[in-house]
Amino acid sequence: MSVPGPDSAGAPAGTVDDARGPAREIRPRSTVPPLSIPWPWRHPRLYDLAFRLSPADRRLRGLEQRRVLAALDAAARPSDHVLEVGAGTGWYTGALAERVRSVRAIEPAPRMRAHLGRRMLRDGRRNVHVADGSLPHDLGGGPPWDGLVCIGVLDYQRDLEECLAAMARAARPGAWMLCTVPARAAAPVDGARRLPIHERVFGRTEREFADAARRAGLRVRDLTPVVLRRRPRTLVASLGVG
């Protein structure tokens, strides 16, 4: 299965591929993105470029991808309907679409969302529906999800428990959830460039994450740190709902 990476080519702007019908126009509900979005993460080209700035950034992203995809292979089933929160430019969306029945990919930044819609359309991902939405208050309804994926988004959320609880409420009992948080004091990575986004990252210890997850009504199935240069950088969490 392919591991998605940055991509900028695509079909005409403003269309998304809907799992339940033909491509249709995106009409963003919100024009003002939530404050939690650091500005570089609202621009697809800047976002993808950020992972090329240093070997350390590239290495960490590669390690994270490997871990996330392994966790996804363990949790996801072909019959699952999955919500991806903060899909960005789609680093994980295509891989997710290959493994499950349908994906609703929500993304609050309009340019990122349009880029993702074009990319999914171009890649023929007919089981992906791109839509507006954000944590913690606008996950966009939809079915009680069989699985939820939230990679690189909780980094910027002060209230981790509130966000986890919101995702748990959107899931069916017995559902799985896969998310990442930065390990405390992990950002920026040694040797990587310090960007404005690094000032606003909320790092967590394994204990802090596990406590917040339990309070949100989630079971921690696995919590694995991605380690670079002997320091934990990102925690990859596999969770169970209910």
Ligand X SMILES: C[S@@+](CC[C@H](N)C(=O)[O-])C[C@H]1O[C@@H](n2cnc3c(N)ncnc32)[C@H](O)[C@@H]1O
Q: Give the C-alpha separation, 79 to 97, whole Å.
A: 11
Whichever of 89 and 127 has its CB closer to ligand X, that residue is 89
Q: Which of 17, 75, 91, 170 binds ligand X (CB under 6 A)?
A: 91
Structure tokens at 34: 């939530």
- Asked whether position 37 contacts ligand X by CB under 6 A, the answer is yes
* E strand or H helix at 75: helix 55-75
Which of 87, 74, 77, 73 lies closest to 37, judged by CA?
87
Q: Phi/psi at 231 (nearest 5 deg)?
A: -120, 135
Tell me which of 10, 152, 182, 203 binds ligand X, using CB under 6 A. Answer: 152
Nearest to 21 by CA among 98, 127, 177, 106: 127
- Nearest distance from C-beta of residue 202 to ligand X, angstroms: 12
Task: Tell me which residues in 122-151 interact with ligand X (CB under 6 A).
Answer: 134-135, 151
Using CA atoms, how far apart are residues 140 and 120, in angstroms rounded to an integer?
Answer: 19
Q: Which of 97, 120, 131, 156 binds ligand X (CB under 6 A)?
A: 156
Does 186 bind ligand X (CB under 6 A)? Our answer is: no
Based on the shown chain and the rule CB under 6 A, indicate whether residue 234 belongs to the binding site for ligand X: no
Q: Which residues bind ligand X (CB under 6 A)?
A: 34, 36-37, 41, 85-88, 91-92, 107-109, 112, 134-135, 151-153, 156
